Amino acid sequence: MDDKILRTTRELIDEVGYPALTVDQVAARAGVGKAAIYRRYTSKAEMAFAATMFEQQLPPLAGTGSLHGDLLELVRAFHVRMATPAARQLAPVLISEIAVNPGLDTRFQETFLAAEQALFADIIEQAVARGELAGTVDPAMAHLLLLGALASALYIINLPVDDAMVTDLVTAATAGITALADRHHSAADGAAEPHAE
Amino acid sequence: MDDKILRTTRELIDEVGYPALTVDQVAARAGVGKAAIYRRYTSKAEMAFAATMFEQQLPPLAGTGSLHGDLLELVRAFHVRMATPAARQLAPVLISEIAVNPGLDTRFQETFLAAEQALFADIIEQAVARGELAGTVDPAMAHLLLLGALASALYIINLPVDDAMVTDLVTAATAGITALADRHHSAADGAAEPHAE
């Protein structure tokens, strides 16, 4: 039933757009009760978010053998998903709902956000194993520098974001992650912290 | 009159909180007509945003003589302002209003965002003049890496943000800005781009 609800939601967003979408339409076309939908999703925005972003699997990532390459591959895949017209319409609504709905915030953190951060943790771990990073870096920080900055650009500042900008963001974040690894791991060795005040 | 409206808005947010604030209350206590308020601000969220964030001047920044130090000083000042309970309550509302109100979006971009980006442009220009950066870097990118990531942490992901995290963000962004300056300016000289795919 989950699948049917989400597929129908995607179809209706394509046909009528997110603003005109209603939970009633989804229930009617999917042949399920409205109550069944509201047991799964607290609002239209959450249902649409699940349908267009969270439940859509990322294409398998090949792995490129470098931190910069792996991050670029990952962020490009997210950019495609995050920049669709449906995502740009519903993300700001979801942001305002999460802010006033602690249950939704918890669900968002424990599922969507945790899954995203795990992808960064994997990439960082591989870079450490290759010797490209001096040690591990908090994946939440890598996530923030890349998808956090990208979400701000797309959903708060409403900038146009092209591939050159994604590439610059990844170049900057790669250098930033490398600097944090140097800083935290040389500090642990008792060496001077290069960026300490 | 602007000043009176904004001062009254700040007082009432402190007394009743943002959710309970109304434009009627502000009009009554400030002794101005509601129409006068709506000529200046399209909504309660925009009025509260102006009162608590935009119109509040940053403390004068001393300048520290280094890119990392200047960015840390600036981002710490913004963090204080952006992390207040009032700001955390109203930013998500404002985000959802900007997304559906092109006039408000334009105003936000031309005033608030332009002023923020100008602060980064100054800091970058000084770093180039000191020879700390190989050349200039788009201030919008520096803004995104720092205040964009910070806004995501505070308003989208709802992370707790402490000074250690602000410091790490600035360390990472400083390295990132330096890498972009190297990349774009060594590319201009015809040298190999260190991070090209």
* pLDDT tens column, B168-183: 999 999 999 999 999 9
How far is A52 from A48, CA to CA, in rounded Å? 6
Is the model more confident about B16 or about A186?
Answer: B16
Q: How far is B17 from chain A (nearest CA, A)?
A: 14
pLDDT for A133 equals: 97
Is the model more confident about A12 or about A196?
Answer: A12
| Amino acid at position A106, single letter | T
pLDDT for A118 equals: 93
How far is A18 from A44, CA to CA, in rounded Å? 9
pLDDT for A196 equals: 42
- Work out the end-to-end distance of chain A between its first and last CA atoms, rounded to an integer number of angstroms: 56
**Which of A100-109, A153-162, B157-166 bottoms out in mean pLDDT, i.e. has the lowest?**
A100-109
Chain A, nearest residue to B113 by Cα: A157
User: B156, A151: Cβ pair inside 8 Å?
Assistant: yes
Q: How far is B47 from chain A (nearest CA, A)?
A: 17
| Nearest CB to A95 within list B92, B172, B175 | B92
- The mean pLDDT of A135-145, rounded to a whole number, is 97
Chain A, nearest residue to B92 by Cα: A96
Is the model more confident about B28 or about A88?
Answer: B28
Flag whether pLDDT at A194 surpasses 80. Answer: no
User: A88, B99: Cβ pair inside 8 Å?
Assistant: yes
How far is A12 from A4, CA to CA, in rounded Å? 12
Residues 6+ apart with CB under 8 A from B96: A92, A93, A95, A96
ipTM for this prediction: 0.87
User: B99, A144: Cβ pair inside 8 Å?
Assistant: no
Flag whether pLDDT at B196 surpasses 50. Answer: no
The DSSP output letter for B196 is: -
pLDDT for B54 equals: 67
pLDDT for B179 equals: 98
> Which of B24, B45, B46, B49 is CA-nearest to residue B35?
B24
pLDDT for B51 equals: 85
- The mean pLDDT of A139-161, rounded to a whole number, is 95
Contact A193, A134 (CB under 8 A): no
Flag whether pLDDT at B27 surpasses 90. Answer: yes
How far is B42 from A154, CA to CA, in rounded Å? 22
Contact B177, B67 (CB under 8 A): yes
Which residues of chain A lie closer than 8 angstroms to B88, CB-CB?
99
Q: Which domains does chain A have, with CATH numbers?
A: 1-56 (1.10.10.60), 62-197 (1.10.357.10)
pLDDT for A22 equals: 94
Flag whether pLDDT at A55 surpasses 90. Answer: no
pLDDT for A145 equals: 97
Flag whether pLDDT at A151 surpasses 90. Answer: yes
- The mean pLDDT of B45-60, rounded to a whole number, is 78
User: A105, B158: Cβ pair inside 8 Å?
Assistant: yes
Mean pLDDT of chain B: 89
* % of chain A residues with pLDDT over 90: 59
pLDDT for A197 equals: 41
Flag whether pLDDT at A54 surpasses 70. Answer: no
pLDDT for B164 equals: 97
Backbone angles phi, psi at A48, to 5 degrees: -70, -35
Q: Which residue has the tokens 């046909």?
A: A15
| Nearest CB to B105 within list A69, A158, A169 | A158
How far is A78 from A109, CA to CA, in rounded Å? 17
pLDDT for B192 equals: 44
How far is B125 from A137, CA to CA, in rounded Å? 30
- Under the banding of pLDDT at 50, 70 and 90, the label for residue A190 is very low
Angle between helices B67-82 and B85-100 (to 10 degrees): 90
* % of chain B residues with pLDDT over 90: 59
Alpha helix positions (H), chain A: 2-16, 23-30, 34-40, 44-49, 67-82, 85-100, 102-108, 114-129, 139-143, 149-151, 163-188
Chain A, nearest residue to B100 by Cα: A89
- The mean pLDDT of B154-165, rounded to a whole number, is 94
Mean pLDDT of chain A: 89
pLDDT for A149 equals: 98
